């Protein structure tokens, strides 16, 4: 493997299928393995790609629109630029690429073309599922091929977590050493009901680290809360000055609304907050589950976006890693309940295989 390139296929349609691939790429490179990250949106017709930021804002501002969007996944082939895809496949063929790690099902039609062109038996393609059931991007395509190896990080059918990402090299922080704060967010697109919960949590005296999506989210800021944002000018399919794809630029919003955005090459900046917090208050996206396992930070589960996130929430409650917002309220907003969830996560982490370590040995 050391003498060949591992091709890591991701998408900027959601950070759950963008951030984990970049983490995997970084960690493989640290082990001396050459990787190339390829972002699907760079092979989509430009006119359609330009509409993606508008969709993000619409989904953020209206959760009902976002919920409807999860039910309307369309065949990606109609949006692809055939000439760009053909050029990509030719490069892979000439270089005899045979190892792929895939985080979005929308890559499957392209991969099927490649497997057909290469007509080789030595291709190994990991289909990485960060949600606990099949999510919308995988549903439209054939997922059964001799070259495909399904990797379930979380698995509702088997009621378990099969793989984790060790997101940072930092030691897990003991619960009684953590900051007395809660991270609250709506995933990469700032979706869901998280903003509706903030006034109640403020009245209860909880200190919040709020990940806002746009400047409109910063009105009526309360003392004791901290506010953070991803740089709205950033697009996941654009490369940085070093010609690399980067984690979302992220920073704290100061009182004058100035933000000093930063990132690092190893993992996403919000993880620093998550590993120090009492809990994450969020909808149950796949990447949020990976953060939870890595940091041993419980999730207070908000309304899911789609059937796949609903199963994610059910799995986290079943395993004792999370609790619904409503149940937590019924328990009187108890920190003891959250500490028990943290202990469950701490115990489980040692039994769960690290994906990168496993991949290097497989």
Q: Find the CATH number of the domain harbouring 307.
A: 3.40.50.2000
Same domain, 59 and 138: yes
The confidence score (pLDDT) of residue 257 equals: 87
Question: What is the three-class DSSP state of 265?
Answer: coil
CATH number at residue 17: 3.40.50
Count how many Cα atoms sit within 13 Å of the Cα of residue 60 in the half-sphere of its side chain.
Answer: 21
Q: Is the pLDDT of residue 69 over 90?
A: no
Residue 161 lies in a domain: yes
Q: Is the pLDDT of residue 97 over 60?
A: yes
The listed range with the strongest mean pLDDT (221-225, 253-257, 279-283) is 279-283
| 311 close to 133: Cβ distance less than 8 angstroms | yes
Residue with tokens 């990991």: 126
Same domain, 21 and 95: yes
Same domain, 218 and 329: yes
Closest CA to 142 of 127, 131, 124: 127
Q: Is the pLDDT of residue 209 over 80?
A: yes
Q: Which residues of 7-30 are buried (b: 16+ CB within 10 A; e: fewer)?
A: bbbbbbbbbbbbbbbbbbbbbbee
The confidence score (pLDDT) of residue 59 equals: 59
Closest CA to 172 of 71, 274, 100, 96: 274
Same domain, 122 and 246: no
Residue 77 lies in a domain: yes
| 225 close to 211: Cβ distance less than 8 angstroms | no
Same domain, 16 and 40: yes
Residue 86 lies in a domain: yes
Residue 170 lies in a domain: no
Residue 320 lies in a domain: yes
List pLDDT tens digits, range 153-178. Answer: 999 999 999 999 999 999 999 999 99
Same domain, 159 and 60: yes
Same domain, 259 and 229: yes
Q: Is the pLDDT of residue 71 over 60?
A: no
Same domain, 153 and 188: no
Residue 146 lies in a domain: yes
Residue with tokens 């099949």: 134
DSSP E strand stretches across 83-236: 99-102, 124-129, 148-152, 154-155, 160-161, 163-164, 182-184, 208-212, 226-230
Mean pLDDT along residues 301-330: 96
Q: What angle do CA 107, 108, 109 make, to 5 degrees?
A: 100
- Tell me how many domains the chain contains: 2
Task: Name the residue range of residue 345's domain.
Answer: 175-351
Q: Residue 149: beta bridge partners? A: 126
Same domain, 191 and 331: yes
> Residue 101 is encoded by which pair of tokens?
């790690």
Provide the greatest CA pair distance for the chain: 63
* Region label for 223, one of left (φ > 0), alpha (ψ between -120 and 50) or beta (otherwise): beta
> Residue 177 is encoded by which pair of tokens?
């050493």
Q: Is the pLDDT of residue 287 over 90?
A: yes
Predicted TM-score (pTM) of the model is: 0.94
| 23 close to 35: Cβ distance less than 8 angstroms | no
Q: Is the pLDDT of residue 62 over 90?
A: no
| 178 close to 263: Cβ distance less than 8 angstroms | no
Same domain, 22 and 140: yes
Same domain, 136 and 185: no
Same domain, 48 and 99: yes
Residue with tokens 């869901």: 192
**Alpha carbon distance 197, 182 (integer Å):** 12
The confidence score (pLDDT) of residue 242 equals: 87
DSSP state of 32: T
Distance of CA 171 to CAs 203, 226, 295, Å? 33, 24, 9
Could you tell me the pLDDT band of residue 152, with boundaries at 50, 70 and 90? very high
């Amino acid at each position: 493997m050391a003498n060949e390139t591992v091709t890591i296929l991701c998408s900027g349609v959601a950070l759950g299928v963008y951030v984990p691939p970049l983490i995997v790429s970084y960690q493989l490179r640290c082990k001396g393995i050459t990787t190339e990250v390829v972002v699907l949106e760079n092979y989509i017709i430009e006119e359609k790609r330009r509409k993606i930021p508008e969709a993000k804002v619409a989904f953020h501002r209206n959760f009902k629109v976002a919920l409807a969007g999860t039910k309307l996944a369309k065949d990606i082939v109609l949006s692809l630029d055939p000439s760009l895809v053909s050029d990509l496949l030719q490069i892979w063929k000439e270089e005899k690429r045979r190892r792929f790690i895939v985080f979005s099902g929308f890559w499957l039609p392209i991969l099927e073309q490649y497997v057909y062109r290469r007509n080789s038996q030595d291709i190994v393609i990991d289909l990485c599922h960060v949600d606990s059931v099949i999510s919308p991007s995988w549903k439209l395509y054939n997922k059964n091929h001799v070259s495909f190896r399904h990797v379930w990080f979380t698995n509702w059918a088997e009621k378990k977590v099969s793989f984790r990402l060790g997101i940072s090299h930092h030691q897990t922080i003991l619960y009684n050493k953590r900051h007395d704060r809660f991270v609250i967010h709506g995933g990469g697109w700032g979706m869901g009901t998280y903003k509706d919960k903030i006034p109640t949590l403020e009245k209860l005296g909880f200190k919040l680290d709020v990940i806002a999506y746009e400047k409109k989210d910063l009105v009526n800021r309360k003392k004791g809360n901290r506010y953070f944002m991803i740089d709205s000018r950033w697009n996941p399919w654009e490369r940085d000055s070093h010609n690399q794809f980067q984690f979302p630029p992220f920073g704290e919003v100061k009182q004058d609304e100035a933000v000093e955005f930063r990132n690092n090459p190893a993992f996403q900046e919000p993880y620093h907050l998550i590993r120090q917090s009492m809990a994450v208050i969020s909808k149950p996206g796949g990447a949020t589950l990976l953060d939870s396992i890595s940091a041993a930070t419980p999730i207070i589960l908000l309304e899911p976006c789609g059937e796949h996130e609903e199963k994610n929430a059910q799995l986290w409650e079943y395993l004792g890693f999370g609790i619904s917002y409503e149940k937590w309220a019924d328990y009187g907003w108890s920190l003891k309940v959250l500490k028990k969830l943290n202990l469950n996560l701490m115990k489980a982490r040692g039994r769960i295989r690290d994906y990168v370590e496993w991949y290097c040995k497989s």
